[in-house]
Chains A and B, each alone.
Chain A
C-alpha cells in the first residue's frame, strides 16, 4: 500500500516553460513534505520542503504547494532549465520515535526539459 504516490512516471517540458510535478498521499499523520532531486549515478539531494502548517513555500525558481484537504502537493519549477532534467522524488514524514523521522518516498517522476 503506497502512502506517497507520484502518478506520472515521466514529464517533458520545453525550456523556459513551467514544470509541475504532482504528489498525492494517504496518511493523514504526515506533517512534513520534501522534494528530492536525483541525477543518474548520484544519490537524491534535498530540494525544498514544506510543513503542514503552510500551504506554500518558495525558493528561487522552485515552489511547493500543499493542499491538505486533498492530500496533494505539487512542485512548480519556473522557468524550467535543461539542468533541471532529473528524477524528482516526493517524500513525507510523520512524527516518529526518539527524535528523528522516517521518510516515505514516492516512486519518482522523471523530468526532461527540452532545449
Chain B
C-alpha cells in the first residue's frame, strides 16, 4: 500500500503565479481532506470531500483557493493567484467512510511563494 501520495513535495513560485497541488488518496478511501500547516495557525482544515463531493469548504481562506476531486483517486488544490502569505505546508489526508475518524496523511507539499 503506497499510502497517500502528494506532488510536488516542494514548490517555489513567484507571487501572482498559479499553483496546483495534487493528491492521490489511499485506494478504497471515500473521504479526502486538504489541510494547511503554518507556525501561527497550526493544522487547519481547508476542505473535505466525501465520495468525490465537496462537503465543507468553509476553511478555504479566499476565492483564490479552489479544490476539485474529479474521481475517487485524484484531487487538486489550486491557488490562483498565489501570494507570499500562502507559503505553508499543505497536507492531503484520506479516510475510509465507514472506518471511523482515523485519517491517513500524505507527506505534504511545502509551498514557498516569493
Contacts and interface: CB of A to CB of B under 8 A. Distances in A.
Interface of A: 32, 34, 36, 41-46, 49, 89, 93, 96-108
B98 A99 contact: yes
Q: Which residue among A36, A42, A102, A108 has the maximum number of chain B CB atoms within 10 Å of its CB?
A: A102
A105 B43 contact: yes
Interface residues of B, number: 28
Contacts of B97: 99-100
Majority secondary structure of chain B interface residues (helix, strand, loop or mixed) = strand
A43 B102 contact: no
Contacts of B44: 105
A99 B103 contact: no
Majority secondary structure of chain A interface residues (helix, strand, loop or mixed) = loop
A46 B102 contact: yes
A93 B42 contact: no
Contacts of A96: 55-56
Contact of A98 (B55, B93, B101, B107): B55
Nearest to B58: A102
A101 B33 CA distance: 10
Q: Which residue among B93, B97, B101 has the maximum number of chain A CB atoms within 10 Å of its CB?
A: B101
Interface in B58-114: 91, 93, 95, 97-98, 100-108
Nearest to A106: B42
A49 B35 CA distance: 20
A105 B38 CA distance: 12
